[in-house]
Chain A
Amino acid sequence: MTSSLRLRAALVSISLLVAFLGVWHLATRSTGTTTTMSPEYAKLMGLTATQGKSAMPGPLDVGAKLWEHLKRPFYDNGPNDKGLGIQLAYSIARVGTGYLLAVLVAIPLGFLIGMSPLLSKALDPFIQVLKPISPLAWMPLALYTIKDSSISAIFVIFICSIWPMLLNTVFGVAGVRKEWIHVARTLEVGTVRRAFTVILPAAAPTILTGMRISIGIAWLVIVAAEMLVGGTGIGYFVWNEWNNLSITNVIIAILLIGIIGMLLDQILARFTRMVTFPE
């Protein structure tokens, strides 16, 4: 039963994809008007102008270019031109660093806040104000104070991924069922032991949900941050190709950003499943 459902879902997925590619292909076929021009003039002009070729590439162009990139993902032609693999590695490293720093800060802090109703009330207004600030709004401030663009990018990742984790940790810790805490207290379990053996496992699913939201946001933000700061990373790749008006490469980058984002999300989803328990 389930296998047939899966099969049918896969069939629908594939037909949707085929339909999408088909429409895309038809829509980008060369339809523009071609004006007659002297051959001397035509030689100086681009294909859009001479053959009425659509400025938007078709799926075949993108496929061919993608194959080219996949064939040599790690080339290095100097500081401004590196293979897609290297660019993605830079982005993942930045996201990883900023995100791990955020984990190291958000989870202990969230634990403390969640266990103390006083702190929770006192810090709430600050968190509520800081949380909705777009991470990119921090960029000029970071560049100005940190005076280093790559650390600024990591800082931006840090600041954007800290809030969902912090809030979820607070929520998870504060929401542990009172009966369990009471039982622990009756059994005279110490505070530290209680935190690790009762509260942590109970709050873990909520904390991991927060972490999963955070990684998604971090990956969204890195592209924008790298477009601003430049140098390396997939965001820089998009900007550099945009500079050359190469929509084909921009589409490829979009595709890869989506795939990596999905993988990161899936990894955390797996972790979440590991710590989830049936009640």
Chain B
Amino acid sequence: MSTFDNPFDPDRNLRGGCACGQHRSAAEHEQAKALRCEPVESEEKRYEGVVASAVMRAMFPQDVARRAFLKSVGASTALAALSQFFPLKTATEVFAQAGTPEKKDLKVGFIPITCATPIIMAAPLGFYAKHGLNVEVVKTAGWAVIRDKTINKEYDAAHMLAPMPIAISLGLGANAIPFAVPAIENINGQGIVLAAKHKDKRDPKDWKGMKFAIPFDYSMHNYLLRYYLAEHGLDPDTDVQLRSVPPPEMVANLRADNIDGFLAPDNVCQRAIYDGVGFMHLLSKEIWDGHPCCSFAASREFITSAPNSFAALTRAIVDATAYASKAENRKQIAEAIAPANYINAPVTVLEQVLTGTYADGLGGVKTDAKRVDFDPFPWQSFAVWMLTQMKRWGQIKGDVDYKAVAEQVYLATDTKKLMTEMGLSPPASAYKSFAVMGKTFDPAKPEDYLASFKIRKGA
């Protein structure tokens, strides 16, 4: 049973089974949907559905009786009758508010890239306000700074690269401080851009000796680029140079010929094309379709000291992410986040990234609606994969308890609960298998996966 189906549909079974009738059980149905942020007419409608569903269930404990009632009077009459004596509207409003936040004025840090879209747009489009929060989104100079400012509690929560909260929790490159990820920001949305002069070097085997930029050591960009190079027989530590470069400096460095290419977050990739200095070699989606990139993170301390604020923040982010996942909203979002207060980039560039119709830098216009997508569910299998790569490239030495770390940092259970309350249908399991460049990853066997790579550090 999905919480946002119509509770006034007489043919619908309110307990057990599957709402659409195509699956044997609700779990199976939900797995099939695997969180697509199904189109919901509006958030209010969705909440109303959840509340109405509960009321109907309370009034007619027997499904047979409820169906008979609905069949005899009709759904609209039933709805009218129900709202006569039960204040559905008020109940819905109360429900959407949940607990009062302990702290209303919050600061959330972000890096000006399109990965942060849900975090940023939630401010101009009013998602934070809707959940009773007054959030100031603060632009930050770099990943190390955002890490330090969040650890120092200048920010209550922040936009971080998906592996960063894991690295911080493990104490890699910083003091070990328990951090948690309630929501992934975006999936896909990165790309490998090469300098215009490499137009004919499309085969990675010819890339020996080239210099590439990545935004940060603990980033999906680093792991994806290394993975891609290694799959083509290049050792990323000895055959090429990888440099950590802040995204805005990547385009300038590419123009100045200091680097040959980069795997960077978007609006930087498209910006290099827009300025005529590079071309899109490959979308990160072609390496791993549906890979996570950035996350919304907060320290454990904040979560325990202000649980209601944290829940409201997560709800706002999940709402914004659901909104951003719909193609028809993307143009409006591009305009909302382009001004200097937010990303500070030309609207054309952001539109190309978000709508997926883009110039590839080689004279062609390509369309890929899933170039960047938004999906909040923090799959713990993502965390396990990142841990295997951290170990593969020597960032973690020794043994790792993959599952324990993944479950401690990626709050799949809490997010699932929140999403269910919000009327969304989260997936049943927090682990899923996926394929990276055609190679299947089984989250249950990380060590075997790690052992299967020929090219790795110190092996």
A77 & B275 in contact (Cβ 8 Å cutoff): no
Q: How far is the CB of A157 from chain B (nearest CB, A)?
A: 18
- Do A55 and B255 touch across chains, with their CB atoms under 8 A apart? yes
Say whether B394 faces chain A, with CB atoms less than 8 Å apart. Answer: no
Give the distance in Å from the alpha carbon of A144 to the alpha carbon of B340 in the complex: 29
* Contact assessment for B339 and A81 in the assembled complex, using a CB-CB cutoff below 8 Å: yes
Complex contacts, A229 vs chain B, CB 8 Å: 141, 145
Q: Cβ of A49 and Cβ of B345 under 8 Å apart?
A: no
Contact with B along A63-82 (1 / 0, CB 8 A): 00000000000000111110
Distance in angstroms from B199 CB to nearest chain A CB is 12
* B138/A245 in contact, CB under 8 A: no
Q: B342 — which chain A residues lie within 8 A by C-beta?
A: 80
On whether the beta carbons of B136 and A79 are closer than 8 Å, the reply is yes
Q: B447 near A: Cβ within 8 Å?
A: no
Q: Are B148 and A243 within 8 A (Cβ)?
A: no
- B433 sits at the interface (CB 8 A): no
Interface string of B225-250 (1 = CB under 8 A from A): 00000000000000000000000110
- The smallest beta-carbon distance between A272 and chain B, in angstroms, is 36
Q: Is A191 an interface residue (CB 8 A)?
A: no
Contacts of B106 in A (CB 8 A): none
Q: How far is the CA of A79 from the CA of B139 in the complex (A)?
A: 8
| Stretch touching chain A among B4-12, B201-209, B300-308, B358-366 | B358-366
Confirm or deny: A24 has a beta carbon within 8 angstroms of a beta carbon on chain B.
no
Q: How far is the CB of B197 from chain A (nearest CB, A)?
A: 14
Evaluate contact between A55 and B275: CB separation under 8 angstroms: yes
Contact B339 A239 (CB under 8 A): no
Instruction: Give the interface residue-count category, chain B.
Output: 35 or more
Judged by a CB distance under 8 angstroms, whether B341 is at the interface is yes
CB distance from A164 to the nearest CB of B (A): 28
Query: What is the CA–CA distance of A152 and B139 in the complex, to the nearest angstrom?
Result: 18
Does A112 lie at the interface of the complex (its beta carbon under 8 Å from any beta carbon of B)? Answer: no
Distance A229 CA – B148 CA, assembled complex (angstroms) = 10
Chain B positions within 8 Å of A147 at CB level: 152-153
Taking a contact as CB atoms closer than 8 A, the residue among B140, B275, B344, B358 that contacts A49 in the complex is B275
B141 and A49 contacting across the interface, CB-CB below 8 Å: no
**Are B274 and A46 neighbours in the complex by a CB distance under 8 Å?**
yes
Does A41 count as interface, using CB distance less than 8 angstroms? yes
Which residues of chain A from 230 to 257 have a CB within 8 Å of any chain B CB?
Answer: 230-231, 236, 239-245
A186: chain B residues within 8 A (beta carbon): none
- Contact between B271 and A77 (Cβ–Cβ < 8 Å)? no
CA distance A254 to B153 in the complex (A): 33
Q: Determine whether the beta carbon of A227 is less than 8 Å from that of B141.
A: yes
Verify B340–A44 contact, CB threshold 8 A.
no
Known: A77-B340, A147-B152, A229-B145. A45 touches B139 (CB 8 A): no
Q: Is the C-beta of B352 less than 8 angstroms from some C-beta in chain A?
A: yes
A55 to B256, CA, bound (A): 12
Q: Closest residue to A243 on the B side, CB-wise?
A: B248
Neighbouring A residues of B249 by C-beta, 8 Å: 242
Does B448 reach chain A (CB closer than 8 Å)? no
A188 within 8 A of B: no
Within A8-58, the residues touching B (CB, 8 Å) are 35, 37-38, 40-41, 43-46, 48-49, 55
Q: Known contacts A80-B342, A230-B141, A245-B248; is A44 also within 8 Å of B154 by CB?
A: no
In the complex, 24 of the A-B residue pairs with CB atoms within 8 angstroms, ordered by the A residue number, are: A41-B363, A41-B365, A44-B358, A44-B365, A46-B275, A46-B348, A49-B273, A49-B275, A77-B340, A79-B136, A79-B138, A79-B341, A80-B138, A81-B344, A148-B152, A149-B145, A149-B152, A228-B145, A229-B145, A230-B138, A230-B141, A231-B138, A243-B112, A245-B275
Known: A44-B358, A229-B141. 10 other contacts (CB 8 A): A44-B348, A45-B276, A49-B273, A55-B275, A80-B138, A80-B344, A229-B145, A239-B141, A244-B340, A244-B345
B residues adjacent to A (C-beta < 8 A): 112, 136-141, 145, 148-149, 152-154, 248-249, 251-252, 255, 271, 273-276, 339-342, 344-346, 348, 352, 357-359, 363-365
Show the binding face of A for B, using Cβ within 8 Å. Answer: 35, 37-38, 40-41, 43-46, 48-49, 55, 77-81, 143-144, 147-149, 227-231, 236, 239-245
CB-CB nearest 3 A-B residue pairs: A49-B276, A81-B341, A44-B359
